[in-house]
A and B are shown apart, each in its own frame.
Chain A
Amino acid sequence: MAARKTTKKPNVSAEELKAYYHDMLLIRRFEEKAGQLYGMGLIGGFCHLYIGQEAVVVGLEATAKEGDSRITTYRDHGHMLACGMDPNGVMAELTGREDGYSKGKGGSMHMFSKDKRFYGGHGIVGANVPLGAGLAFADKYKGNDAVTFTYFGDGAANQGQVYETFNMAALWQLPCIFVIENNQYAMGTSQQRSTSSAEIWERGKAFGIPGEAVDGMDVLAVKAAGETAVAHCRSGKGPYILEIKTYRYRGHSMSDPAKYRTREEVQKMRDERDPIEAVRTLLLQGEHATEEDLKAIDKKIKDVVNESAEFAKTSPEPALDELWTDIYATEIPQEA
């Protein structure tokens, strides 16, 4: 299948393309494994998979530099892998074990890495948006040129606090990239049934925040738009909105009856717009890689994912004493 043409395709090297292929495939395989472990009862509670949306976070992470921050919702596994967090630690958190990123106390929706400037994993729809602007505020305050990627969904875009945040971010020129991952549904509610504007990013205009809609099934288009946004924010011009049109293949969480859309709709997306297939085609057609090269990548990823599952199964449950730790700090945690 052929990737859809994008208008502004950046020059991209074979190495870069291979890296995107690798990073997206890692997320996909990791998520498939997580789904499997959930089915086996090793992962509990809510578990929201990122399958289908991989190009969004991989394309944007390609534009980030050391010192930038990111924050997202409960649909966070992809973001963590893309920013370089360890698959073992992520998977072990999913199984609620001692070696997880939150020592087993956070779970799928609440994981963090100070080291990678990944500020969560948030369970309350909309609540991470002002937090992202706050991270950007801190960077501006400190006078560095870091930016914050603040991810949220199309459904979250109707929360009032999003617009309170837009106002302040514009007013104070905060280096914040608002990334609306528009996968067209908020649980079972389609965008048309919940949202008065067809183009969510245009709401930013009321606040004087520039933005654009982006094809989120095309990692190169995402990266190109990300570069524009990052350049804008880094140069001190204030926030930027990217509404990235994407699609989730799986249910909202593991317990979604998915009656709100047809199987054909999902299948059509998978067949015609899959972001990983698109890059694969580019690699092969441009003769940047051979089938063998790609097989080797697939194999490597499979090993990493299997190892993470093994690690997550064998890591011990947290000690009971952990119940009582981390409730109050005894000193101010050092900034990352």
Chain B
Amino acid sequence: MATEILMPALSPTMEEGTLAKWLVKEGDTVKSGDIMAEIETDKATMEFEAVDEGIIGKILIEEGTEGVKVNTAIAILVEEGEEVGDVEVSKPAEPAKPAKNEDPKDKGGADGMDHPAPAAPEADVTPDWPEGTKLKQQTVREALRDAMAEEMRRDENVFLMGEEVAEYQGAYKISQGLLDEFGAKRVIDTPITEHGFAGIGVGAAFGGLRPIVEFMTWNFGMQAIDQIINSAAKTLYMSGGQMGAPMVFRGPNGAAARVGAQHSQDYAAWYMQIPGLKVAMPYSASDYKGLMKSAIRDPNPVIFLENEILYGRSFDVPEDDDYTVPFGKARIWREGSDVTIVSFGIGMTYALEAAGKLAEEGIEAEVIDLRTLRPMDTASIIKSVKKTNRCVTVEEGWPQGSVGGYISSVLMQQAFDYLDAPVINCTGKDVPMPYAANLEKHALVTTAEVIEAVKTVTYK
């Protein structure tokens, strides 16, 4: 059967080209791999090879013709004994039509995972646990360990790997006892090869397992950031939903104490930026537990940002092996009508301390713990700001491109008319973390700065 030979696209950006020279003439026999023509693209002169076997029945575009559109028929290939007249020369293909029911403007912002409609979502204010639930005091460390152990009992595909997680019982003792209970098959010591084992974790997740990858600290997760973002976060999208990386990357994040610039970075704002990742940065032990369990069960890659200073703090935790906290639901720690203070993770310690001191001066702050940064419960922030008309954000990370900066933009776009003062972002200082004790204290955000910010926005 006769076939058309079409003008090829010979570079990613080529739309048309010059048919510089024919190297075959009508009646010639060609087989695949034979060079038929020279074509000038926007970048270079390229040789154009035959793919099919046949006889050049007719040349449709003369050599020297410029501006030949990609996919225009340039010649006709016939079989032995076949007439050229058998083929009807086609027009260049039309560009693809836009898909129906697709108005790109219909998509929401980056705050939620599903964006069915632009309408502002309602804030979910149901309590985390029902009245009368039995509670126990637990440290964040114990809560994390229990969450992983419970999920490992529940699903044998869940395993933990990282540096010193097994025999050493965890550099920060988060995996204490897990090797004893689950054995070396499921609690795995790795060499110091973050990029390698993060990638192996992502592959294992592709392959159906539920890895928990521990970074000794998130500072070392930077070695692995390509696998986290290019492999874990984007594969679901790139595969059209066929496969993804249901897994958890976890470890302590942010400043500890006096460990200097390379060991003290807060990565909240970085990971919060990545579509395809979910990001948790809890404060209380019950949230560490409930969110870690949700993270392990989640079908997406989850970044779990813990905090070394919080590891030893105790909080009430429900006595329930199936206690989970959903992503994208903030918790209101304190109600108030004068100002909304929004924070997460270790930032909550400053937020709550400031709120306590402000109450003594008659200023009632509402304190919101975001708990997860992606999805982010902006609905709860907006709802609160509609009441208080003022907002201060608190985080330890750097100011430029901060979590607070994002919250400010959301408020400006969605609650502008309710704001009585510009939003203030209390952040870490715009410097690498110094080692000296006195400088370190100043580099971090302080409670005094939060109080001052609240007074500024309340004009007190």
* Chain A contact residues, CB within 8 Å of chain B: 44-46, 93, 96-97, 102, 104-110, 122-126, 155-156, 158-160, 186-189, 193-195, 259-260, 317-318, 320, 322-324, 327
Residue contact B163 to A189, C-beta cutoff 8 Å: yes
Is the contact region of chain B dominated by helix, strand, or loop, or is it mixed?
Answer: loop
Cβ contacts B425-451/A at 8 Å (1 or 0 each)? 000011110111111001100000000
Min CB gap B145→A, angstroms: 17
A171 to B419, CA, bound (A): 62
On whether A110 and B435 interact (CB within 8 A), knowing A44-B258, A45-B257, A156-B192, the answer reads yes
On whether A187 and B171 interact (CB within 8 A), knowing A110-B260, A195-B191, A323-B431, the answer reads yes
Residue of B nearest to A327 (CB): B431
- Chain A positions within 8 Å of B257 at CB level: 44-45
Residue contact A123 to B260, C-beta cutoff 8 Å: yes
- Residue among B219, B262, B429, B438 making CB contact with A317, cutoff 8 Å: B438
- Chain A positions within 8 Å of B258 at CB level: 44-45, 96, 107
Residue contact B429 to A323, C-beta cutoff 8 Å: yes
Min CB gap B437→A, angstroms: 6
Interface residues in B184-234 (C-beta closer than 8 Å to A): 189-193, 195-196, 219-220, 222-223
Residue contact B196 to A318, C-beta cutoff 8 Å: no
Interface size class of B (residues with CB under 8 A): 35 or more
Q: A104-B434, A160-B193 are in contact. List 4 more A-B contacts (CB 8 A).
A: A96-B439, A194-B192, A322-B434, A323-B434
Residue contact B262 to A122, C-beta cutoff 8 Å: yes
Residue contact A158 to B193, C-beta cutoff 8 Å: yes
On whether A159 and B192 interact (CB within 8 A), knowing A187-B163, A188-B168, the answer reads yes
Interface residues in B138-190 (C-beta closer than 8 Å to A): 163-164, 167-168, 171, 189-190
Residue contact A193 to B439, C-beta cutoff 8 Å: no
Residue contact A160 to B434, C-beta cutoff 8 Å: no
Residue of A nearest to B171 (CB): A187
- Chain A positions within 8 Å of B439 at CB level: 96, 104-105, 317-318, 320, 322-323
- Chain B positions within 8 Å of A93 at CB level: 435
Q: List 8 A-B contacts (CB under 8 A).
A: A44-B435, A45-B435, A107-B435, A123-B260, A155-B192, A160-B195, A318-B434, A323-B429
A186 to B167, CA, bound (A): 13
Residue of B nearest to A107 (CB): B435
Min CB gap A261→B, angstroms: 11
A317 to B435, CA, bound (A): 11
Residue contact A105 to B436, C-beta cutoff 8 Å: yes
**B297: interface (CB < 8 Å):** no
Cβ contacts B251-274/A at 8 Å (1 or 0 each)? 000001111111100000000000
A324 to B429, CA, bound (A): 9
Min CB gap B438→A, angstroms: 5
A181 to B432, CA, bound (A): 29
Interface residues in B23-77 (C-beta closer than 8 Å to A): none
A187 to B262, CA, bound (A): 18
